[in-house]
Chains A and B, each alone.
Chain A
Amino acid sequence: MFENVIRPETLDTLAKFGINAGIIIVKIAIVLGIALLHVAYATYFERKVIGHMQVRLGPMRVGPHGLLQPIADGLKLFFKEDILPANSDKPVFYLAPVIFMAAAMVNLSVIPFASNFVIANINVGLLFIFAIAGMGVYGIFISGWASNSKYAFIGGLRSSAQVISYEIAMGLSLVGVMIMAGSVNLSDIVKAQANSVFGIFAIPQIIGFVVFTIAAVAETNRTPFDLPEAENELVAGYHVEYSGFRFALFFLGEYIAMFIMASLATVCFLGGWTIPWYITTVLPFLKYVPGIVWFLLKVYAFIFFYYWIRATVPRYRYDQLMAIGWKILIPVALANLLLTGLVKILL
């Protein structure tokens, strides 16, 4: 009676689909868990690094050397009152942090963490990251709009102008990588680097790498380009009116966006989970270190660089920011593109 409802072949396909879906769900759970833990301890790492650079100690009270500080901060944010400004645009106000964080989190799905560990190994990986990172601006901008506060509004406007300007420079700097790798699939880019002469694209694409690094700092609204949340003029910028857990979502989004930018730098310029061949020929035992270790080492080195810059360079003026973006970074990225294309044709 039941044999005709589901045919054996269909059942087989269904079972395969179920197993694949299960594997993907497990991967998502792992990546989400790591990302949330990363955010918690990235804040701790940042406060410690900046503290020591300013000859202070950073958090020391909660737990040994302040190790439980992120947990205390998280709990505090959970139990804070959720304040809603009286004249805000409520549905949009609710939506903005969700868009911002979701846009940051979706990007985690295409980052190849190790040779076989990527949630969605899609062929347009790099373009997908651009598209979704651009979506994050909507979160910032509509949060500024919906708050009905001049500080939030100015922050939102600055952020959208800044991110649009620097997205161009960042995209152009990565086109050089696309030309060298011949692909926009992130895993293929890493493999192309492993097979290249230099082992990492940061050496032949040094101009692109510098442009990308500057653009990545601007893209994630970090110092010295943190104009959208400039504390001493805009209080906190686009998230002034947010409190409690909604603020935590913005915070989460910002740190995940930093992680994404660091991962992108690692994957496109620093060789992802691989290490250059000339290092493994000198020190062969390094071959047995799992790829995820190299990946995370590079990512955290890049994130450390973010903090290092924050502890060193003061904030740029807004016109300087725009001038750097449009008059320097974009022409330099275009010149790099031309050079890369010529070399590619000639060789």
Chain B
Amino acid sequence: MTAKELVNKIFFVEILKAMALTLSRMFSHAVTIQYPTERRPIAPGFRGQHALAKNPEGKAKCVGCGLCAAICPSQCIQIFREKGKVARYEVEVLRCIFCGFCVEACPYGAIVLTENFEYSNYSKEALYMTRENLLSNWDKYMAGKKGEDYFKKFWRPMSEDFGTPQSQAVFRGRR
């Protein structure tokens, strides 16, 4: 043991340093967010509860092609068609992993993930989303300009644009 180590031990130098640190932390600002009264800002492109998009006439955009159900890794989307129309469109939210593949796969931009994350419930039935629930979610969270912007900005609806995004470095022809 060197003399310096001995002095450090006798005068509790390490412990005193640690105590200075904890004391300085005591007067720093706490990082706690008091949840129901304060909320963390929702990150852009947040993947929350599902909704089925509506067109300007107020009808569902979904045509029931089944691409979303096909790509879904947890296979929680069920679509039943009768006479060429969507009869039932159901999402079992408890099994959903919120990967967003369904939104990317949809050629009509008919399904979205909204910013809503506060829909916990005591019953399984309440978390088994039917077509009506999903359509009303659109009205609740995505109606109007906000939903449109959200959709265009983060999900790049393929119904409008099938090209490579401008930010991607690719060959774009000679100018």
B30→A57 contact, CB < 8 A: yes
Chain A residue contacts of B31, Cβ below 8 A: 55-56
Chain B residue contacts of A60, Cβ below 8 A: 32, 34
Known: A313-B15, A313-B18. A308 touches B30 (CB 8 A): no
B18→A55 contact, CB < 8 A: no
B26→A52 contact, CB < 8 A: yes
Cα distance, A126 to B27, chains bound together (Å): 38
B32→A311 contact, CB < 8 A: no
Cα distance, A53 to B25, chains bound together (Å): 5
Query: Does chain A have a CB within 8 A of B13?
Result: no
Cα distance, A308 to B25, chains bound together (Å): 11
B32→A56 contact, CB < 8 A: yes
A311→B22 contact, CB < 8 A: yes
Which chain A residues numbered 48 to 78 have a C-beta less than 8 Å away from chain B? 49, 51-57, 60
Query: Does chain B have a CB within 8 A of A20?
Result: no
Which chain B residues numbered 1 to 18 have a C-beta less than 8 Å away from chain A? 15, 18
Chain A residue contacts of B25, Cβ below 8 A: 52-55
B19→A55 contact, CB < 8 A: no
B15→A52 contact, CB < 8 A: no
Chain B residue contacts of A56, Cβ below 8 A: 30-32
A308→B19 contact, CB < 8 A: yes
B-side interface residues, number (CB < 8 Å): 15
Write the nearest CB–CB distance from A291 to chain B, whole angstroms.
28
Chain A residue contacts of B32, Cβ below 8 A: 56-57, 60
Write the nearest CB–CB distance from A227 to chain B, whole angstroms.
18
A312→B30 contact, CB < 8 A: no
A-side interface residues, number (CB < 8 Å): 14
Query: Does chain B have a CB within 8 A of A234?
Result: no
Query: Does chain A have a CB within 8 A of B170?
Result: no
Query: Does chain A have a CB within 8 A of B23?
Result: yes
Chain B residue contacts of A53, Cβ below 8 A: 22-23, 25-26
Cα distance, A313 to B18, chains bound together (Å): 8
A309→B19 contact, CB < 8 A: yes
Chain A residue contacts of B18, Cβ below 8 A: 312-313
Chain A residue contacts of B30, Cβ below 8 A: 51-52, 55-57
What residue of chain A has the Cβ atom nearest to residue B20's Cβ?
A312
Which chain A residues numbered 287 to 331 have a C-beta less than 8 Å away from chain B? 308-309, 311-313
B28→A308 contact, CB < 8 A: no
Write the nearest CB–CB distance from B42 to chain A, whole angstroms.
22
Chain A residue contacts of B22, Cβ below 8 A: 53, 308, 311-312
Cα distance, A308 to B30, chains bound together (Å): 17
Cα distance, A56 to B26, chains bound together (Å): 9
What residue of chain A has the Cβ atom nearest to residue B31's Cβ?
A55
Cα distance, A52 to B26, chains bound together (Å): 5
Chain B residue contacts of A57, Cβ below 8 A: 30, 32, 34
Cα distance, A51 to B26, chains bound together (Å): 8
Write the nearest CB–CB distance from A11 to chain B, whole angstroms.
61
Cα distance, A55 to B28, chains bound together (Å): 7
Cα distance, A327 to B21, chains bound together (Å): 29
Write the nearest CB–CB distance from A253 to chain B, whole angstroms.
27
Cα distance, A339 to B24, chains bound together (Å): 37
Which chain B residues numbered 27 to 72 have a C-beta less than 8 Å away from chain A? 27-32, 34
Chain B residue contacts of A55, Cβ below 8 A: 25, 28-31
Contact with B along A89-131 (1 / 0, CB 8 A): 0000000000000000000000000000000000000000000
Chain A residue contacts of B29, Cβ below 8 A: 55
Interface of A toward B, CB cutoff 8 Å: 49, 51-57, 60, 308-309, 311-313
Task: List 20 A-B residue pairs with CB atoms under 8 Å apart, sorted by A's residue number.
Answer: A51-B30, A52-B26, A52-B27, A52-B30, A53-B22, A53-B25, A53-B26, A55-B25, A55-B31, A56-B30, A56-B31, A57-B32, A57-B34, A60-B32, A308-B22, A311-B22, A312-B18, A312-B19, A312-B21, A312-B22
List 9 A-B pairs, minimum CB-CB distance, nearest first. A53-B22, A57-B32, A52-B26, A312-B22, A53-B26, A57-B30, A312-B18, A312-B19, A311-B22
User: 20 other contacts beyond A55-B28, A55-B29, with CB at 8 A cut-off?
Assistant: A49-B26, A52-B25, A52-B27, A53-B23, A53-B25, A53-B26, A54-B25, A55-B30, A55-B31, A56-B30, A56-B31, A56-B32, A57-B30, A57-B34, A60-B34, A308-B19, A309-B19, A311-B22, A312-B15, A312-B22
